[in-house]
Structure formats: structure tokens, C-alpha cells
Chains A and B, each alone.
Chain A
């Protein structure tokens, strides 16, 4: 590939990653997937440099017209805006026990994420899925509970600011991306974390 830049592009609903380069003469156009790059959050307080030009637009170049903007239906989950995400995986064992993840999320005011086995088993709706066939997220804090860390999950969350992983298998791949790891039974660790979080909230 002769291109100076290479990009990763997801195809087939995130099941395959293509490595693509740019050929031909400029200009080039690139669009981004939300959550793939860290947002610019500084304020440089610079002296503003801007110029506005009136331009002529004819109706025939306007391919679409926005009639009305309707907010997303209630219940739709947008994890890309969450500052904290508590996510659970197969390690929780059952839909009933998954309640622990929901409880910790509620205490922390966090969004709820899940790995694919969880949404496949119907413990949570598909909208909560994080990973290559779900959402790509970048919260400040990501707490992975009973998630082993299959690559399909890691690509959706490994850019998070701080990753805390709880898993009983010390060799689980999730620990390779984690900033803090707790090796232990998630069903025993979560109740302790929930109590601690409640204490801090007080």
C-alpha cells in the first residue's frame, strides 16, 4: 500500500476489520465512527479567527430536507455519552445475578454495558452491547464485571480512560487492557463494591 496513512474500517456489522489506504489525487474525504478517537476537550482561549461567507445554494443540490428532529425513543441506550460504564459478562452466571451489575451502575450513576453472551442470552437488550457488533465506548471509567475480554469486546472499550476488571481467571485477556484488576469471584466482589459506592455517595 503506497498510502501514507492507513485506516481501520469495520465492515459486515463490525465482524471484519479492513485496513485501508488512500489512493489517487486529493482531496480525500474521511469520516469517523463516534467514540473511535479521543475528543478535543481543551479550551485554548485563543483570539478567535473566523470568517463567514454567504454562499449561494440552489434547491437541486439539497438532496435531503430536515422536516423535524425527534429525540430518540425512550429506553434507547446511548453509552457513547456515559462518563462511567459498568459492564457485565457471562461470569455473572444468570439474568437474576446480573442485577448486581445494574445495582452498581445505579449507585454510581453509570451506564450499563454488556458483552455479547449477555445480550445473546437475553439478560439485557441488544442496545447495551459493547464491542465490534455493538457500541464503541470511551467513558472515563469502565468497570468490566465477569467479562473475559474477547477481542470483539476489547475493540469496543479499550480506549476508555480507566479500566477496572473483575474476573476469577487471572489469565483472562481483559486484564491485559485493565488499569486495575481484581482477581476474584465477581458475585462476591460486586456486593462489596456496591456497599463502598453507597458509602462514598453518602
Chain B
């Protein structure tokens, strides 16, 4: 775990929230300082298109954790 920086992606209605892109900005900064790789973790129900968009734009590895119950996932919700 400690070998990586993981950005937990906030999204709503199939769109990444602005705070996510700000967190990615910080992730890249930290990656340079700490010499660690950044990955993105998304939680939700249908994540393929979002995961693809994020990975294409950032060139980062994206891990989607999929469950029906996470459809309206919020960071406070789990």
C-alpha cells in the first residue's frame, strides 16, 4: 500500500467532479516529490466509461470497484 499514491475519485451522474481533477493535480505533484506511482480508484455501479476517460486523460492506471449498491456512492457513504 505504501508504495503507491491512490486518488479516490469523486463522481456524480457519470461525470468526475472538479475536486477530483484538483486531487489529481496534487497527486502528480506528490508523485514527483515522493517518487511514487499514482493510481486512481473509483467506486460505483457502471464505471467503464468514466474509468476510460480518466485513464485516457491522465495516463494513470484506474481501478474500478463495482457494486450495485455503490450507484450513488459518496465519500461519506461507505
Decide: A66 near B66, CB < 8 A? Known: A48-B51, A49-B55.
Answer: no
Kindly provide the distance from the CB of A65 to the nearest chain B CB, expressed in whole angstroms. Answer: 7
Name the residue on A nearest B28 (C-beta). Answer: A40
Using CB atoms and an 8 Å cutoff, list the residues of chain A in contact with chain B.
4-5, 25-27, 31-32, 34-57, 59, 61-66, 69, 80-81
Which residues of B are found within 8 Å of A45, using beta-carbon distances? Answer: 56-57
Question: What's the least CB distance linking B30 to chain A, in Å?
Answer: 8
Question: What 6 pairs across the A-B complex have the smallest Cβ distances?
Answer: A46-B59, A26-B2, A52-B64, A66-B72, A50-B51, A48-B55
Residue positions of B touching A, CB distance < 8 A: 1-2, 12, 18-19, 21-26, 28-30, 33-34, 47-48, 51-52, 54-67, 69-70, 72, 74-78
Cα distance A32–B27 in the bound complex, in angstroms: 11
Q: Which residue of B lies closest to A43 (CB)?
A: B57
- A37 and B57 in contact (CB under 8 A), knowing A4-B34, A57-B69? no
How would you classify the secondary structure of chain A's contact residues: helix, strand, loop or mixed?
loop
Q: Determine the chain A residues whose CB is within 8 A of the CB of B63 once the complex forms.
A: 50-53
- Distance A120 CA – B19 CA, assembled complex (angstroms): 29
| Residue contact B59 to A55, C-beta cutoff 8 Å | no
Q: Which of B19, B48, B54, B78 contacts A61 (CB 8 A)?
A: B78
Specify the chain B residue showing the minimal Cβ separation from A35. B22
25 A-B pairs (CB sep. < 8 Å): A32-B23, A34-B18, A36-B22, A37-B22, A39-B22, A40-B58, A46-B57, A46-B58, A47-B56, A48-B56, A49-B61, A49-B62, A50-B48, A51-B63, A52-B51, A52-B65, A54-B67, A55-B67, A57-B69, A57-B78, A62-B69, A63-B78, A65-B77, A66-B74, A69-B72
